Amino acid sequence: MNDKLSIFLLVVKNMNFSRTAEELFMTQPAVSQYVKNLEEELGVQLFDRSHKQIQLTKAGEIVAYYGKEIDTLSQSMKRKLDDLTSHVGGDLLLGASYSYGEYLLPKRLAAFLDVYPQVVPSICIANTAEIAEKIVDQTLDLGIIEGTVNNKWIESHKIATDHLVVVAKSGQLVHNLDTHTWIIREEGSGTREAFDNFKKEHKLNPTHTMVFGSTQLIKEAVANGLGLALLSEWTIQDEIHLNKLQIIRREDFHYQRDFHAIHLNTPFLTKTTDTFLDYLKRNK
């Protein structure tokens, strides 16, 4: 069933038998026969072929949905079985939240690849909630997040401590933090969680906030005088050096948080994933 299912899923992706045949270096009748055999095996019709363009039937939608999960689990199983007899190398699917992924991960990964050059990393940058979701879906091997995750399917390991500070446009006078606009991240972001905790800790009640979807965008907005922000010191080094941003009363207004590496709560981590996790834990 695996070959028939894989070909069916590719047809679903392309919604075109001819294009699928070209990708697989097969004839169109051969692709059609694989799909027909799957339909016979399952006892349902997967495509409505009565229109000019093929369309999935309701049964086809169900098979496509669960077929993708089966394919993901099958690929994961093969990788883990291969790992039993292999060295550290091959694919490493990483997810990271913005602060760590854009400012710390490249350096850590470069040093790791110097030791293990046969590892082939792939990196997804997203917020904490999205990374956690991809770990549970098993589309990532390892995630690095700046927030917290309460999920029984996820195991977490502290790998670094981060310090956040209040920043403003260089030269801007800042007296009462409540009277300024605050530029913050979206819900689900670890930096947003840090701001919410910082706000409670310092009893802040800003009159106006703006929600921006990336740290880089927030830095540019603050540098242009649109408001204040709470950002990781790791992310603002260049702007401080170029005198675009200033830190406001570091001794009074700061926040500390931990970065965590997360993975599916399973004893079957690949050797490559386990080795990279160990490297992160030893190089905090």
pLDDT tens track for 178-211: 999 999 999 888 889 999 999 999 999 998 999 9
pLDDT at 83 over 80: no
Give percent above pLDDT 70 in the chain: 98
Average pLDDT for 146-171: 91
User: pTM for this one?
Assistant: 0.62
Give yes or no for residue 268 having a pLDDT over 80.
no
* Biggest CA-to-CA distance, the chain: 74
Contacts of 41 (CB under 8 A, 6+ apart): 1, 4
Mean pLDDT of 12-24: 90
pLDDT top residue among 245 and 81: 245
130: CB partners within 8 A, 6+ apart: 95, 188
Q: Is residue 45 a contact partner of residue 39, using CB atoms and an 8 Å limit?
A: yes
- Summary mean pLDDT of the chain: 90
- Whether the pLDDT of residue 92 is over 60: the answer is yes
Question: Which helix H or strand E contains 122, and what residues bound it?
Answer: strand 119-125
* Residue 50: predicted pLDDT: 80
